[in-house]
Amino acid sequence: MMPKIGVVLSGCGVNDGSEIHESVITMLELDKAGADMVLMAPNIDQLHVINHYTGTEMDEYRNVLVESARIARGDIKDMAEVSSKDVDALIFPGGFGVAKNLCDYAMAGAECSVNPDVVRLAQEVHKDKKPIGVICISPAMMAKILGDETELTIGFDEQ
């Protein structure tokens, strides 16, 4: 039986959602390794919408789950419906959506608050001693979720 790896997305686009390259490469490598993926995102509105061509904010609203479904090709779950028993590990690709949609680190810094479903699932997975991978800006959020008693590392860096 192949491991089930949860991949938490935060929208679609580096400036207001998941970083597409990080997300797709993560998914590609998991697929190549034979893992089953459980793609998920919270069913919430994005903080704002950025025009990725001009870099300017747009006057419209988008939903994080709906936008993340673009990367997942529709095969995605509402994070509220996922628990630690559904995954063997959890990965958070980066992108500014992590710091704007999954938490408010982009505005509040170290005093940020984190989406309750993100906190719940990350703490469940951690409590069950399952691995959690964080990419790009995601470690800042994970440090807030897991607190001071947890050691965050860069993994195995040969350099």
What are the helix (H) ranges across 12-157? 20-32, 64-72, 96-97, 105-108, 116-127, 138-146
Among 12, 103, 112, 136, the active-site one is 136
Q: Provide the whole-model pTM.
A: 0.93
pLDDT per position as a tens digit, 102-127: 999 999 998 999 999 999 999 999 99
Q: Which CATH class is domain 4-132?
A: alpha beta
Instruction: Provide the residue type at 11 as one letter.
Output: G
Backbone CA torsion sign across 102, 104, 110, 114: negative
Q: Quickly state the pLDDT bin for 151 (edges 50, 70, 90).
A: confident
* Spans of all domains in the chain: 4-132
Cβ(68)–Cβ(9) under 8 Å? yes
Q: How confident is the model at residue 5 (pLDDT cuts 50, 70, 90)?
A: very high
* Residue 136 designated active-site: yes
